[in-house]
Amino acid sequence: MTASDVAFLGLDEIDGRHSLFIQKRHCTPFGFLYGGSGVAACAAAAELVAGRPLVWITTQYVGQAAPDERLELDVEVLVHARSTTQTIVRAHVGDRLVLHATTAHTDRPVGDEAWWDAMPDVPAPDDCPPFALTFDHHGDESFFRSLDRRAPADWAERTPGRIAIWARVPGWGIGTPASQAFVADIVPVAVMTGLGRMTGATSLDNTLRVVHGEPYDGWVLLDVEAQGYRRAIGHGQVRLWRPDGVLLGIGSQSCIVRSVPRVVPDAPVPG
């Protein structure tokens, strides 16, 4: 966790307890808390309490929260051993539970490092056009305004259910666990493109495993892969790569894919 994590998210601390006053920039175009914002807040709060870098967080999306609500982040330390800490984070608005996360942290020496995969071969960010979804309207104030995303011009013609997207958050380098969590909530997009319908989806869970958690200011490649779909539930994973081929983290998600497109409130009408 870094000061930039706290500043970008807007975390508050009062008497040792952390919270997030939800603004439109933390939310989806549909007016509820973006999962990446919620997981990032849980990750940052857990690191503040544990005092150790986060290496794993898994989160269940239990409820929803909206702008102008305060998300309280209650962190309970389950184990604080010689080099490892494990916590539970309950994110709630009043008595309403919104997210439930479990985390693991360690301050073990870095030592050797390895990963057994390779970054996809795609054009550089400057050679890719902007990537936008059908419900991304530039007039809104959603979390989309914080993101700069680009993808190869032929991404729709590549392997079905797999997308490589360059992403960055100006003013907040992607690298820390919280920042990785913010951009890694994207698996539903691969599932929907694999199915051939961008109808919207609701995440059930989100897991992030952090390999490199150091701050990094630049583009990150999101290698997103849909892996299975049944009973309206899609599953998949995302790998986060630095341009130099360093693996930052691995995320996975399950989501409910909608059969009918969701309507964005106050969306501009084509004409």
Q: What are 55-84's pLDDT values in tens digits? A: 999 999 999 999 999 999 999 999 999 999
Q: What mean pLDDT comes out for the span 140-151?
A: 87
Q: What mean pLDDT comes out for the span 110-118?
A: 89
Instruction: Indicate the SS3 state at residue 55.
Output: strand
Both tokens of residue 125? 């960010």
Q: What mean pLDDT comes out for the span 32-49?
A: 96
Q: What mean pLDDT comes out for the span 212-239?
A: 95
pLDDT at 99: 98
Place of tokens 């006053």: 21
CA–CA gap between residue 190 and residue 224 (Å, rounded): 6
Sign of the CA dihedral 9, 42, 246, 105?
A: positive
CA–CA gap between residue 169 and residue 227 (Å, rounded): 27
- 2-25 confidence digits (pLDDT tens): 789 999 999 999 888 999 999 999
Confidence label for 110 from pLDDT (cuts 50, 70 and 90): confident
Q: Which residues contact 218 (CB under 8 A, 6 or more apart)?
A: 168, 173, 174, 242, 243
Q: Which of 22-26, 107-111, 132-136, 267-271 has the lowest mean pLDDT?
A: 267-271
CA–CA gap between residue 68 and residue 158 (Å, rounded): 41
Stated pTM of the model = 0.92
> Is residue 158 over pLDDT 90?
no
The one-letter amino acid code at 214 reads E
